[in-house]
Amino acid sequence: MDDRISKTLKSWLRDTPRLALLAALAVVFLLPYAWMLAVSVKPKSEVFSAALSLWPATWHAAENYGQVLREVPVLRYLWNGAVVCALILAFQLAFALPAGYALAKLRFRGSRTLFAFVMLGLLVPAHVPAIALYIAFANAKLLNTYTALVAPFTISVFAIFLFRQFFKALPDDLINAARIDGMNEASIVWRVAVPNAWPAATAFAIFSVVAHWSDLFWPLIVITKGDLYTPALGVLRFHSQEAGDDYGALMAAATLTMAPLVAAFLVAQRRFIEGITMTGIKG
């Protein structure tokens, strides 16, 4: 027993330099979060006087968060963010799952060409078609609508690519068995392929939501009306127009808009990391 304790102790001791280095780095990485939370509950006077103390002398959380909720429709922004992310994801999956299946499992003329277009699409950053899309939406009087926020991202060539790779690994015999059992291709997609694609679909969903929840470029272009602001746009506007150097309120706003995704991450940490890694590695 003693032997075991001394063994554990020794292994901790040997591990100390590594743990110390990692802990120091983690402190640096988490610094912005610590101060963001601290400042969000400090009164203005403390923000200006005692920069290095994390714990507030006077608790000012109610005032800061209250001010944000009063002056800025934060909940509205969060709602917009959720709606936009959900719509984008729904369309991406609805378009990409069948396409990925067809490219992986069906033989037809033109499949190689289609796949070449997918690979080509992977190389083009989303900023490239933005100007033309903006002109089109402006002419169609679609600026300042959910449509403008969602439509450009309904197609994800990356999702098609990911699902194609995933379906490739599905045994052909499974598909053939479904055909023998009398299913047509559409029902094979929804009843055989998709239920087997959950790992890839979850991974992609996490990747997609993270990307679009945080996106600033496109909402900044097509949205000017406050009631359609996404969280990212809301923070930016609050930052540049109203808050000035009222850091308490600003940090409260930042905390509120960031909270949903970070909370989701902390709850389903492994899923998130697996999701990003899987989409990352295969991309």
Partner 1 sequence: MADAAIHRVAATAAVRAPIGEAAAAWLLTAPAIVAFVLMLLVPTIAVCLLALTDFELGVPTFQFVGLDNFAELMRDRNFAIPVRNTAFFVALVAPLSILMGLVLALLIEANPRGRTFFRAAFFLPVVSLMVAMATAWQYLLHPTIGPVNAILRDLGLATPNWLGSSEWALISIGLISIWENAGFNMVLIMAGLTAIPRELYAAAEIDGARSAWARLRLVTWPLLGPTMLFVVLITTIRAIRTFDTVAALTQGGPNKASELIVYTIYREGFTYLRMGYASAMTVVFLAVVLGLMALQTRLIERRTHYG
Cβ atoms of 54 and 47 within 8 Å: the answer is no
39 within 8 A of 47, measured Cβ to Cβ? yes
HEC letters along 60-125: CHHHHHHHHHHHCCHHHHHHHHHHHHHHHHHHHHHHHHHHHHHHHHCCCCCHHHHHHHHHHHHHCC
Query: Residue length, the chain?
Result: 283
Closest to partner 1 by CB, 2 vs 270, is 270
In the complex, the smallest distance separating the C-beta of residue 107 from partner 1, rounded to whole angstroms, is 6
CB of 108 to partner 1, least distance (A): 4
Shortest Å distance, C-beta 118 to partner 1: 8
Closest distance of CB 198 from partner 1, Å: 19
Nearest to 78 by CA among 202, 275, 253, 267: 253
CA–CA dist 190, 201 (Å, integer): 13
Residue with smaller CB distance to partner 1, 1 or 240: 240
